[in-house]
Amino acid sequence: MTGQDLGGKTLTAGVYCFASSAQLTGTLRLDAQGNAAAVFIFQIGSTLTTASGSSVVLINGASPCNVFWQVGSSATLGTATSFVGNILALTSITVTTGATVSGRTLARNGAVTLDTNVVTASCAPFVPPSCPAISLSPSSLPNGRVAVAYSQTFTGSGGTAPYTFAVTSGALPVGLTLTPSGILAGTPTIAGNPTVTIRVTDASGCTATLPYTIVVAAALPPPPVCPTITLAPTTLPNATPGVAYTQTITGSGGTAPYSFGVTAGALPTGMTLTPGGVLSGTPTASGIATFTIRGTDANGCFAEGSGTLTVTTAVPTMPEVFVVLLALGLIAAGYVRLRRRPRVA
């Protein structure tokens, strides 16, 4: 390895080599996986530096006696660093204010500089911390769907923040990943219902696990390509107040059967439109009603048309007017004859 930051990593027993320098910003966890004899060796070509407040945490039986830091030049532990292991530096070691070391600090050619520090050189077997009950949420995961973006955030509680998250068994749905901060996200590509186990680890190395089943449904079928649908008639005959009215709306160009409804405006009072397209009823008042009718075919494709229905009182035709005038003339003539009847002596 070249110079890199060890913060945020969890490492198992082994030898880790750095060609130049190494840094620690955050928390490095050393996991013995239940083996008290597990050994961790870090070989660093030049310098080792830690940021203020950074820490090395031992978990699952790791011992500070079995952690070694071989530094090619100097090591500097930042303010309030909580460090674990035996540092063997070629030139010097500087432990700044408030830093603690569980292990030994040995400099071959230079000095070890301390400043209000606590250095514990005991190599007694490591006693893991007494862990609280840690909870992982949510307790179940929402379903996903192929080709639809998915996102779910895990959270931990009951321990010491920050928490990290990882899959310990099983496999996530193809297309999804879980970040150490607990964000499960991506776009599923294969339907299924895999089961995975998620582990949450707090800052002290205490853990909790929970199994999850993630159901991924198949992708939705593509929407239909809709043809041009035509509604008929394009104009509606007039209606008359108090006179029953009926007109059938039909659709063509799509796939039968069609259903109809009013999507805007309002029909004249007393009239309705059935889903089958029958516009009927008895209008109760004169006026002009404007509305929009939608016709939808069996595949969900539709067309809309603006309708106008005029409700007006019937105007008498010319024959009807002639009959009325004739009747009035006859009544008038009879009245005149009545007035001219001679008196009887």
Q: 9-31, pLDDT tens digit by residue?
A: 999 999 999 988 999 998 999 99
> Residue 327: left (phi > 0), alpha (psi -120 to 50), or beta?
alpha
* Banded pLDDT at 339 (limits 50, 70, 90): low
Strand order in the sheet with 195-201: 164-170, 195-201, 207-213
pLDDT at 303: 95
What are phi and psi for residue 241, nearest 5 degrees? -55, 135
| Complete domains list, the chain, with CATH | 10-120 (no CATH), 135-217 (2.60.40.10), 224-345 (2.60.40.10)
Helix, strand or coil, per DSSP, at residue 311: strand
Torsion of CA 323, 329, 332, 334, to 10 degrees: -90
Do 99 and 117 form a contact (C-beta atoms < 8 A)?
Answer: yes
Which region among 54-58, 67-71, 304-308, 320-324 has the lowest average model confidence (pLDDT)?
320-324
Strand pairing partners for 144? 216
Give the helix/strand (H/E) hosting 326: helix 318-340
Q: CA angle at residue 46 from 43 to 50, to 5 degrees?
A: 80
What is the torsional sign of CA 225, 304, 259, 255?
negative
* Banded pLDDT at 247 (limits 50, 70, 90): very high
To which residue do tokens 């955030």 refer?
A: 153
Q: 231-244, pLDDT tens digit by residue?
A: 999 999 999 999 99
Helix, strand or coil, per DSSP, at residue 269: coil
pLDDT at 242: 93
* Banded pLDDT at 2 (limits 50, 70, 90): very low
To which residue do tokens 């769907």 refer?
A: 145
pLDDT at 343: 57
Mean pLDDT of 259-272: 96
% of the chain with per-residue pLDDT over 90: 71
Q: CA–CA separation, 129 vs 91, rounded Å?
A: 34
Q: Is 109 exposed, middle or buried (0-12, 13-18, 19+ CB in 10 A)?
A: exposed
pLDDT at residue 1 greater than cutoff 50: no
pLDDT at residue 146 greater than cutoff 80: yes
Q: 297-311, pLDDT tens digit by residue?
A: 999 999 999 989 999
Q: 83-98, pLDDT tens digit by residue?
A: 999 999 999 999 998 8
pLDDT at residue 189 greater than cutoff 80: yes
Q: DSSP code of 248?
A: E
Q: 151-179, pLDDT tens digit by residue?
A: 999 999 999 999 999 999 999 999 999 99
